[in-house]
Chains A and B, each alone.
Chain A
Amino acid sequence: MTRLSRFLWVVLVGASSACSPPEKDARETFRTPDEADFARVSAVLEARCGSLDCHGQMGRSLRIFGRNGLRASRDDVSGADAGVPTRPEEELANYASVVAIEPEILDRVVVEGGKSPERLTLVRKARGSEHHKGGRAWEEGGAADRCFVSWLRGKVDTAACEQGKELGFLPWP
């Protein structure tokens, strides 16, 4: 076999494998943070991200449901006065929304124990380190940030989540 024909064989094999489609039933599995602990994180996202004028809208890729924002059921209404508390299925929908945005990156963050969470666009936008039309949702290292990152690490910081729900307004005079 000449050098040229060997080269052509290599090119042919390489090209054929590069063009081969995935198997019909191929599935990719991504690891995600625990769904069971997400309710506390969801409450923070509802308070800071899920208002009707932000991510509490059906058209958002990060879509947050909650008592005071968007409701998942047509039978529920938004608002603390008339609305029922956030339902478990709404928290589950919030979980699905969060983990579905960047599953490959989330997989790496989870596998590496929550290391470098800023790889996630959600974290960068929330911290304001990447342009976010709604501005900074929380400060890096603040309670809300610690809550979210602790969930990525596999052990939710309950106290941080409780604190992170509060938006830090001063009382009215």
Chain B
Amino acid sequence: MRVGVGGALAVALALLLACACTDPVHSDRVDALGGELPGTHPGPDHRPGQPCTYCHGGQGPAGPVFDLAGTVFLEPLGDAFGVEGAEVELMDRTGKIVGAGTNRSGNFFFRDGELGLEFPLRTRIRYGGGDFIEMTTPIFRARSCGECHSGAGPDSVPRIFVQGTP
């Protein structure tokens, strides 16, 4: 096959653009998430507890894009899947509140444009008709709960859980 100068330039330009558009930090984060849990497939129930917007944040590789997303668990440790039916509420400094419920794997999410709040955000959760439990500190800019709620430690906090409520 003979490729002319124009063709060679086009290929070189395409390769250059492909390289230029790859964010290695983002790629590494996505790769570090690993595979799906056994028996699960991509969808609203998958990857509970993981930082959802690493993939659903607009840089890919997954869609739809979420404004904010997370998972509510029954306990700080244990079951890999969260609880269904937990209520999550977020409020900004103007007092505007939006809410979401968790699905069968404990996941909740606000799709692109659904959140409509200005950071920072106060957050509270409730499960089974119990009292709301408020998060101690506001969310300043993270759009995935799993970014910080990845386990108790010096640089992370336990996953979100509702143990102690009915």
Contact = CB atoms under 8 A, between A and B. Distances in A.
Contact of B154 (A73, A167, A173): A73
Given A53-B140, A134-B140, A170-B93, A82 B152 contact: yes
B51 to A, nearest CB: 11
A78 B97 contact: no
B155 to A, nearest CB: 5
Residue in A56, A79, A168 with the greatest tally of chain B CB atoms within 10 Å: A79
Contact-residue size bin, chain B (C-beta under 8 Å from the other chain): 20 to 34
Contact of A77 (B147, B148, B152): B152
Contacts of B119: 135
Interface string A62-88: 000000111111111111111000000
B157 A52 contact: yes
B120 interface: yes
A9 interface: no
The interface residues of chain B, by DSSP majority, are classed as loop
B156 interface: yes
A3 interface: no
Given A71-B155, A79-B136, A169 B122 contact: yes
Given A135-B119, A170-B93, A51 B153 contact: no
B136 to A, nearest CB: 4
B152 A79 contact: yes
Contact of B137 (A51, A74, A133, A134): A51
Which 3 residue pairs spanning A and B have beta carbons closest together? Answer: A53-B142, A71-B154, A170-B95
Given A51-B139, A73-B154, A76-B154, 8 more contacts: A53-B147, A54-B140, A72-B154, A78-B155, A78-B157, A170-B91, A170-B94, A170-B95
Interface of A: 51-54, 56-58, 68-82, 133-135, 167-170, 172-173
